[in-house]
Amino acid sequence: MQNLTLHSIIAPSVFTVSPDAPLADVLASMESMRVSCIVAVDEARIPLGIFTEQDAIRLMAERKPVESSCMADVMSSSPLTAPLDTDFREGYRLISEKGFRHLVVVDDEGRLAGVVSEADFMHHMGMEYLVELKTVGSTMTRSVSTLAESATLADAVELMARNKISCVVVANDGKPVGILTERDTVALARTVSDPAQVHITRVMQSPVQTIEAGLPVQQAMKQMKHASIRRLVVVEGEILAGIITRHDIVKTMQGRYIEFLHETLERQHKELVKVKAQIEQSRQQLVYHSLMEQISDAIYLLDAETGKILNANDQACRNLGYTRNELLKLSVFDISTAAHSPDAWRDIVEALRRKPQIIESQHRRYDGSLFPVEINGRLIEEGDRPYLVAVARDLTDIRQAEKAIQETHDSLNALVEAIPDAIFFKDGEGRWLITNEPAKQLFRLHEIDWQGKTEMELAELHPAFRPAHEACLVDDETAWQAGKLTLFSETVHEENGKTRHFEVRKVPVFDAENRRKGLVIIGRDITERMEAEEQLLEAAAVMQSTHEGVVITDTTPAILAVNSAYSAITGYGPDEVIGRNPNIIGSGRADKLFHEAMWKSLLKDGYWQGEVWNRRKSGEIYPQLLTISTVYDEKSEPIRYVGVFADITQLKENQAQLEFMAHHDPLTQLPNRALVESRLEQEVEQAHRHGHQAGVLFIDLDRFKQVNDSFGHLIGDELLCAVAQRLGARLRQGDTLGRLGGDEFILLISPLRDPQDAAVVARDFIAALNEPFNLSDGSEVFIGGSIGISLFPQDGETVSELMKNADAAMYLAKESGRNQFSFYTKALNADARAKLAMENELRRTLLKHELTLHYQPKVDLRSGHICGAEALARWRLANGSMVSPAEFIPLAEKSSLILNLGAWVIDEACMQVRTWLDAGLKDICVALNISARQFRSSDLDKQLEQALEKHGIEAHHLELELTESMLMHEPEQAVATMHKLKQIGVKISLDDFGTGYSSLAYLSRFPIDTLKIDQSFVRGVVTDPDSAEISSAIIGLAHRMKLRVVAEGVETEDQLAYMRTNGCDELQGFYFSKPLPADDFAELLRSGKSLAQ
């Protein structure tokens, strides 16, 4: 029993679960296995909690739900634990002090090993003799908790939980009739949901196991063991006297157990004294070990007689590569080359007996490698046995440093010897200590004993060098006085009469007390450089005298020098270009392939010549004839590039003049027949490729022969030049006007969008030729022109076909009366004649003021009354038929008539407003459509001001309607023009809004008053969702920009309703009225009739 531990008495087969195990399963397991506890463990079997029968009582008393609970919700966390090797008496003391019935036993890693209960202490310890004289009555618990047969299960568990008891006895007239124990609650907690509804008599154990109070305790123990129960009800006769449990029996044992505790205390005291002695010894060893480990050198404790290693610090282990256990198995003979034999070891010990020694040796590592050490040894006596303490310092780093210093010293010597300059080092007294080979050869030091000599002593040995030594002595003192790097120029006159020039650097060296320590001297022979510089000066003189530009670069390339001609040609002075890349004057015209080819030639042949375009400082681009040559060193490596160039601007101009003369008419400077045919061939090829049309206009001057014959050839030539200038001023961009000879000219038009565009140009040319020509002799001549037009591909697909057919068409024009044009194709010719007839009739109509204006009302949607009108031009022929504006307006726009028509509309509208005002009619605003050519004309603002002033009306009576496409042609110019018009005071409306491509950015910049929704959207607001959405968006946009909105083309009541619903301001269309003559409009305005109900 004295050596008994918990390991001997535990129940190893402990039932365990995880903390998240369902509580119902835990209770079922306890019931089926008839165990008093279950332990919760983690994955490593570390105990986390315990659930006992007492916990089951608490569970029922607190009415906790079983089905929704898990082990972690009800277990007792942090269970009482003890190691396996715990003495059995210590284990019992733990549960006695804590009042627990279970002790969880764990192994060295804290893992669950088993559980010990009170029953285990009682059954396994063999202590029955401690209670053999005790009776049940002297051991039992007399205070017994009882309940009547009418009590419920809830009453029982609440009583057990409150009093922390393990059972309740059910009595009837003092007689025990049943018992409910904590083990019973395990099963009941799982199966009974409401204890208050269950009578105690249904679940209690009956009949009750009883024992008479006078029987010995041993009898109670046997009876409990036989029945596998933990308690007996004690009776006297049949009347309840008390209850005896295993716990009561164990408590009784405690009195007899004191003697065992006393024995335990005595044993623990002896062990404690022993442990204290061990702790003190360990402390002393720790101090000793700490001192050894703090020293960075290896420390060994050796047996002086045997050489065995008794102890060593960690540094010794690290140095040798052994573990401590491995090292302590070795002797000095295994690790030291100095102790190579027992005799050698004895000699070392004897030497140390006399005094401590420091020796150098080598130690052998675990891998057999050797490393140098310095050993400081001392012999000590401990009792009658000698020991040797050795401190070994690893000399590896020191030896490597010494080696590195020597290698550095050797490298520096090699470097000094490798330098071609003469190098000297003198001490603070001026004595020569170190020189390299170039210095020795310079002063012929191989012939004399020179080390330690001063300048004057050396001069005595070599009198020929006396001047050099004397000058050197003076410069040395100057360097000492300067106290820093100082440059000198020195000369050495050799015995052969040659003078050598040196660039000398002298650096003084001082010690910590600023005393002279040494002087470093480096002399570079610059004799050849000075001779080369003289040659360069001569070459520079030659370079400066040449008229060609010269530039010298290195291989980077950076400019090293330029001559005066370079500056004269480029405009850059030397200080502006030296050090910079030669492409500073580059024009950027040459591409990457050009430069690659140039450099390829330079690298391969060492030479390149060609023409390049460069840029002067002024920015002018000019041509150069450039030659670049490579300069090589003695190793045939490129070291310089020399560029020589001439300005060939005049040459190029002469070439260009010759080229121009070959392809242009010398009189008019227009392209000649050869160039015209070449360009026509190109245009035909382009037209073929892209599928567009082209036009050829053959122009022959009418009546030129009479002028030439009457006034002479000089006047004829002057007239031809005037014709070329006048026609050239009317060319479109990309078109070509040429002279074929005599009075024949030709015009190429490409691309040609519409054949009628060619007719427009022809009419313009004929009009230009019809204007008089004022010549230098004061005469005024009138000529005309007949023009033939051929089209590609309709009239031919070759140059010859197109020119031949245009010539034929020109003759047709002449035959038709001259001063007109003719298409080669009959159908086009007829159409052109019809349009020409209409244009001529329109011109006549304008001159006779036979056009009229009709006015379409604009209705204010809020009041329903007329608030303005749009003026629309109408043309009625003499036969009474009307010409559609869709026919004559485009015709007018293609000619200059649109300007005349626009001016007439402005004047006519102003006159009509004045008439209405004089008649007392309502003050309204009239909208006028402005064409693109009229808007871009320079005098539109003046026309408006003159018309307003002429008829005496205010500017607010006029509104100008402009289209999106017109404004976006040149938006910046359009903004400026609109601001000029707004300064007059007229209103501006953006017509056909939504059909163009104006951006919101420009829209916000246009100074407009009104947006006009195009009638194509208005027509679809009821039937087309897209049109409706666009219209509502325009209205919303306009109102956000503080603009009014007019919807044109309203023709139905549904369209009116839509516009009213969406907030449109004004409406216009046939639903209200068609355009009316001025008198009819006046009557409608005078009536005051509401047009929008």
pLDDT digits (tens, 9 = 90+) for 387-401: 889 898 988 888 888
pLDDT of residue 121 exceeding 80, the answer is no
Location of structure tokens 């983690």: 42
Asked if residue 957 and residue 897 are part of one domain, the reply reads yes
In a domain, 926, yes or no: yes
pLDDT of residue 948 exceeding 90, the answer is yes
CATH at residue 501: 3.30.450.20
Read off the tokens for 552: 């010298």
d(CA 831, CA 758): 13
Q: Return the pLDDT at 129.
A: 44
d(CA 540, CA 535): 8
pLDDT of residue 978 exceeding 80, the answer is yes
Asked if residue 864 and residue 840 are part of one domain, the reply reads no
DSSP code, position 209? P
Asked if residue 44 and residue 13 are part of one domain, the reply reads yes
Asked if residue 809 and residue 675 are part of one domain, the reply reads yes
Asked if residue 876 and residue 796 are part of one domain, the reply reads no
Cα-based distances in Å from 1043 to 857, 866, 989, 1007: 20, 19, 10, 10
Location of structure tokens 């057999």: 368
Q: 1035 or 281: whose pLDDT is higher?
A: 1035
The arrangement of strands across the sheet holding 102-106 comes to: 81-83, 102-106, 112-117
CATH at residue 159: 3.10.580.10
d(CA 699, CA 822): 11
Contact 88, 121 (CB under 8 A): yes
Contact 211, 244 (CB under 8 A): yes
Contact 840, 1065 (CB under 8 A): no
Q: Return the pLDDT at 836.
A: 72
Asked if residue 499 and residue 592 are part of one domain, the reply reads no
Asked if residue 915 and residue 1042 are part of one domain, the reply reads yes
Contact 1072, 1092 (CB under 8 A): yes
Location of structure tokens 């129940």: 11
Q: What is the mean pLDDT of residues 168-193?
A: 87
d(CA 769, CA 262): 148
In a domain, 411, yes or no: no
Q: What is the mean pLDDT of residues 604-630?
A: 90
In a domain, 492, yes or no: yes
Q: Return the pLDDT at 852.
A: 94
d(CA 331, CA 497): 78
Is the pTM above the cut of 0.75?
no
* 729 three-class SS: coil
Q: Return the pLDDT at 870.
A: 96
Q: What is the mean pLDDT of residues 859-887?
A: 90
Q: Per the structure, how many domains does the chain have?
A: 7
Amino acid at 939: D
Q: 946 lies in which domain range? A: 849-1087
In a domain, 461, yes or no: yes
Using a pLDDT cut of 70, give the percent of the chain over it.
92
Mark which of 399, 433, 448 sits at the end of a domain.
399
Q: Is 219 exposed, middle or buried (0-12, 13-18, 19+ CB in 10 A)?
A: middle
Q: What is the mean pLDDT of residues 187-191?
A: 82
Identify the weakest region by mean pLDDT among 331-345, 496-510, 995-1009.
Answer: 995-1009
In a domain, 233, yes or no: yes
Q: Return the pLDDT at 253.
A: 62
Residue 607 φ/ψ region, left for φ over 0, alpha for ψ in the -120 to 50 degree band, beta for the rest: beta
Q: Mind listing the pLDDT tens digit for each residue in 631-661?
A: 888 888 898 999 999 888 888 887 778 788 8
Helices and strands, counts by H and E, the chain:
42, 45
Q: What is the mean pLDDT of residues 121-127?
A: 60
In a domain, 277, yes or no: no
d(CA 360, CA 394): 10
Asked if residue 157 and residue 98 are part of one domain, the reply reads no
Phi, psi torsion values for 798, nearest 5 degrees: -125, 165
Helix axes of 88-98 and 246-294: crossing angle, nearest 10 degrees: 110
Asked if residue 818 and residue 675 are part of one domain, the reply reads yes
- Using pLDDT thresholds of 50, 70 and 90, give the confidence band for residue 508: very high
Cα-based distances in Å from 604 to 598, 599, 608: 10, 8, 10
Asked if residue 501 and residue 484 are part of one domain, the reply reads yes
Asked if residue 570 and residue 443 are part of one domain, the reply reads no
Asked if residue 955 and residue 906 are part of one domain, the reply reads yes
Mark which of 365, 399, 433 sits at the end of a domain.
399
What stretches of 754-851 adopt beta strand conformation (E)?
773-774, 780-781, 784-792, 821-823
Q: Return the pLDDT at 826.
A: 64
Q: Return the pLDDT at 1019.
A: 92
Q: Is 679 exposed, middle or buried (0-12, 13-18, 19+ CB in 10 A)?
A: middle
Q: What is the largest CA-CA distance in the chain?
A: 177
CATH at residue 1001: 3.20.20.450
**631-636 contacts at long range (C-beta below 8 A, 24 or more positions apart):** 632/606
Measured from the Cβ of residue 140, the count of other Cβ atoms closer than 10 Å reads 24
Q: Return the pLDDT at 559.
A: 92
In a domain, 740, yes or no: yes
DSSP code, position 992? E
Mark which of 482, 499, 525 sits at the end of a domain.
525
What residues form DSSP beta bridges with 963? 991
Q: Mind listing the pLDDT tens digit for each residue in 509-525?
A: 998 889 998 899 988 88
In a domain, 289, yes or no: no
pLDDT of residue 823 exceeding 80, the answer is yes
Q: What is the mean pLDDT of residues 948-974?
A: 89
Contact 82, 6 (CB under 8 A): yes
Average model confidence (pLDDT) for the chain? 86
Q: Return the pLDDT at 141.
A: 87
Using a pLDDT cut of 90, give the percent of the chain over it.
35
d(CA 309, CA 301): 6
d(CA 554, CA 578): 11
Q: What is the mean pLDDT of residues 454-467?
A: 87
